[in-house]
Amino acid sequence: GAGVSQSPSNKVTEKGKDVELRCDPISGHTALYWYRQRLGQGLEFLIYFQGNSAPDKSGLPSDRFSAERTGESVSTLTIQRTQQEDSAVYLCASSLGPRGEAGFGPGTRLTVL
Amino acid sequence: RKEVEQDPGPFNVPEGATVAFNCTYSNSASQSFFWYRQDCRKEPKLLMSVYSSGNEDGRFTAQLNRASQYISLLIRDSKLSDSATYLCVVNGGGNYGGSQGNLIFGKGTKLSVKP
């Protein structure tokens, strides 16, 4: 079946602009995760959604970052007033539940000039 | 103490070698454990879940020691295609929602298998 999809695959933006990244999880997956991975670094947790529970936003690095999820489907990650240090691959994953195996999307490569 | 710790490596081994990776985690309430592999410039892919009784999948064996909060991955008869970064993944303890369900990734151990 269809896996996790993300769009756009690549995004180049200018410093100070806002960007919106999209994630379509696997159908029926209640848990959705966003991670950031800078070049040569490990995965950095950003935010986690589980069903109708309040999301865990503890990983968001600043108030410029926000994310929403519509029910148990699409999620968008918004970065306002982008900075060069925001350049990274943003990865989305989903799983059947909070203890399930997570499948990842291919990521969105963000470059802030 | 970091939540999930791994030796970053790199581990450089010849084809056919046996190699073992270790991982420690800090949250004693964690309930789910996984190994993922990540190839260069690709997304992580699930390698295997780790069960309390230990589990094996072909050349790969994973073990969990809850008392020591320690997870291991053993790769036998290494192939060139095993070259990748191996990520140890642990979920927060507890039930649904909040940080307790989050998946926490170690920084990964890099493996390079040489001919």
Scan residues 85-104 of A and list those with Cβ closer than 8 Å to B.
Answer: 91, 93, 95, 97-104
| Percent of chain B predicted with pLDDT > 90 | 73
Bond into B10 cis (ω within 30): yes
Note the residue count of chain A: 113
Q: Which two tokens stand for residue B103?
A: 């998946």
Chain B contact residues (CB < 8 Å to A)? 31-32, 34, 42-46, 49, 87, 91, 95-108
Give the pLDDT confidence score for residue B1 in this predicted structure: 59
Residue B25 has pLDDT above 90, yes or no: yes
Q: Which residues pair with B4 in a beta bridge?
A: B25
Give the pLDDT confidence score for residue B31 in this predicted structure: 85
3-state SS, one letter per residue, for B49-61? ECCCCCEEECCEE
Q: Of residues B71 and B31, which shows the higher confidence score? A: B71
Q: How far apart are CA B88 and CA B72, in angstroms?
A: 9
Q: Of residues A104 and B29, which shows the higher confidence score? A: A104
Give the pLDDT confidence score for residue B95 in this predicted structure: 43
Exposure string over A42-51, b if 16+ CB within 10 A, otherwise e: bbbbbbbbbe
pLDDT digits (tens, 9 = 90+) for B61-110: 999 999 999 999 999 999 999 999 999 999 875 443 445 568 889 999 99
Nearest to B108 among A42, A48, A58 (CB): A42
Give the pLDDT confidence score for residue A2 in this predicted structure: 81
Q: Which residues pair with A37 in a beta bridge?
A: A43, A89
Give the pLDDT confidence score for residue B101 in this predicted structure: 66
Q: How far is A80 from chain B (nearest CA, A)?
A: 24
Mean pLDDT by 10 residues, chain A (113 residues): 91 98 94 94 92 88 95 93 98 87 96 97
CA angle, A85 as apex, A81 and A90 as ends, to 5°?
85
Residue B28 has pLDDT above 90, yes or no: no
Using a CB-CB cut-off of 8 Å, the residues of chain A touching B96 are: 50-51, 53, 97-98
Which of B7, B31, B102 to substitute to test the interface with A, most A CBs within 10 Å? Answer: B102
Exposure string over A101-111, b if 16+ CB within 10 A, otherwise e: bbbbbbbbbbe
